[in-house]
Structure 1
């Protein structure tokens, strides 16, 4: 998600995880993804990422 470079957004100084969350919410909403489907997919993503973290 891009912001207007002339007026700073509160997100400009937000932590990376907040910026990512906002982008993901925008992506899901702009593609009219059913919230139940999104939650199931996010749980799968969480499981995958946890496995990658554990392998480190």
Structure 2
């Protein structure tokens, strides 16, 4: 599958992986940061569902 035809979430994941690897960020730091990001976006999703 070509990346240009991939779903948006796959494109974003590939971009994030490349960015994190380019900056040689420790895997532990990446996972901790991703957990924070996940919690933030889950909160935003809950809040937006409450607005509907």
Q: Report the TM-score, using the length of structure 2 for normalisation.
A: 0.89
5+ residue gaps, structure 1: 1-8
The total of aligned residue pairs comes to 48
* Two-structure CA RMSD over aligned residues (Å): 1.1
Counterpart position of 2:25: 33
Counterpart position of 1:11: 3
Quick check: which one's helix share is greater?
Answer: 2
4+ residue segments displaced more than 6 Å: none
Higher relative contact order (CA 8 A, sep 6+): 1
Q: Report the TM-score, using the length of structure 1 for normalisation.
A: 0.83
5+ residue gaps, structure 2: none
- Counterparts of 2:26 and 2:11, CA distance in 1: 22
